[in-house]
Structure 1
C-alpha cells in the first residue's frame, strides 16, 4: 500500500481490503480443491476458473474486460478480472501460474495496473510453489513476488500510480 493514502480514497481502500479478505478466505476454505487443480502441467484456465467462482460469480468482477487505453500508449489491457469501484476507479485481479516470475508476469501485471486509468488496485494471485514432474517444488513464486511488488510501495520516491497491491498465495 502507498505510504500515504489520500483522504478521498480511504473509504475505497477499505472496500478493496474487504474484497481482499473475501478472496483470502476463499483461498483458505478451498485449499484442498486448489491442490487438486494445481498440479504439474495444470492448465492456467483451470486455475483461473476456480477463482472465477468467487471473483466473477460472487463478488461481481468482470472477466477479460478491456480497459481504457492510457493516453499516449498503445495498449489494450485485458486483465483476468476487473472490479469497478466507481467512475475511472477499479481493481485488477490477475491469476498467475508457471510464468509468474520466470516470465515476469507479476511485473507485467503491476505495469498494467499502473498504466490503466481505470485501475488503482491490484490483486495478484500466485502459487506458493511451482512443481516439477516428480512433485517437488521447482521454485517458490510467492516470496519473490511479494518482495518485488513490495519494492514499489512504502517510500514516496519509489511509488507508482497504484494505491494498493494485495498478493495472494495458493
Structure 2
C-alpha cells in the first residue's frame, strides 16, 4: 500500500525558490510516510471507525522532525474564527505550509474544501499538504476513494480562471489503493 503523492499547483509560482523548498519538504514528508514502520502503523489503524486523530498521532513525530508545529494558534486571529487552526504548520521564509490530516469525512463533509479554504485565508501560508485515505472503508464492505476524489475536486482551483490564494496543494494518499 504505497503512499500516493500528487502536486496541484499554479502554473506561475509567485516565488519559484520557495516552491522548490516546499517541494523538497513534501518529498521528505512522502519518504517519511513510506517508511515501513509508518505504513504499517497507518495500516493498523486505517479501518472502519478510525479517526483522523489516530492518523495524525502517527505522522506527528515525522511532521515535527521536519519542522512543523502542532495545531499552531493565532494564524487566523484577524478573522471571526480566531480559534481555527491547522493540524500542523511550518513557516517557510515569509510564507508557510498548512498540513492537514483527514480520514472518514474527507469528501462526505467537504473537509478537503475546508482545508483549502483555511489555506486560502491564512496570511501565513500559501501551501497546503493534505493527507487523505486512498480508500475509505465502509461498514458494509464497500467504500469510497477520497484521494482520487480530492485530486479531481481540488484540481479545479489550480486552473487559471479559478485560482485561489494557494500556490500549491501537495496531496498524500495513504492506505490501500
User: TM-score by structure 1 length?
Assistant: 0.90
Q: Could you tell me which residue of structure 2 aligns to residue 147 of structure 1?
A: 152
Matched, 1:110 2:112: no
**Which residue of the other structure, out of 166, 169, 174, is the alignment partner of 1:165?**
169
Q: Secondary structure at the match of 1:168?
A: strand
Which structure has more relative contact order (CA 8 Å, sep 6+)? It is 2
**Which residue of the other structure, out of 13, 21, 35, is the alignment partner of 2:27?**
21
Structure 1 residue 28: Cα displacement: 1.9
What's the RMSD between the two structures over aligned residues?
A: 1.5
Q: Could you tell me which residue of structure 1 aligns to residue 4 of structure 2?
A: none
Matched, 1:39 2:47: yes
Structure 1 residue 70: Cα displacement: 7.0
* Runs (5+) with no aligned partner, structure 2: 1-8
Aligned residues: 163
Question: For the Cα contact (< 8 Å) 1:122–1:162, is it kept in 2?
Answer: yes
**Which residue of the other structure, out of 51, 58, 64, is the alignment partner of 1:50?**
58
User: TM-score by structure 2 length?
Assistant: 0.86
Structure 1 residue 154: Cα displacement: 3.3
* Runs (5+) with no aligned partner, structure 1: none
Question: For the Cα contact (< 8 Å) 1:26–1:54, is it kept in 2?
Answer: yes
Matched, 1:2 2:10: yes
Matched, 1:86 2:90: no
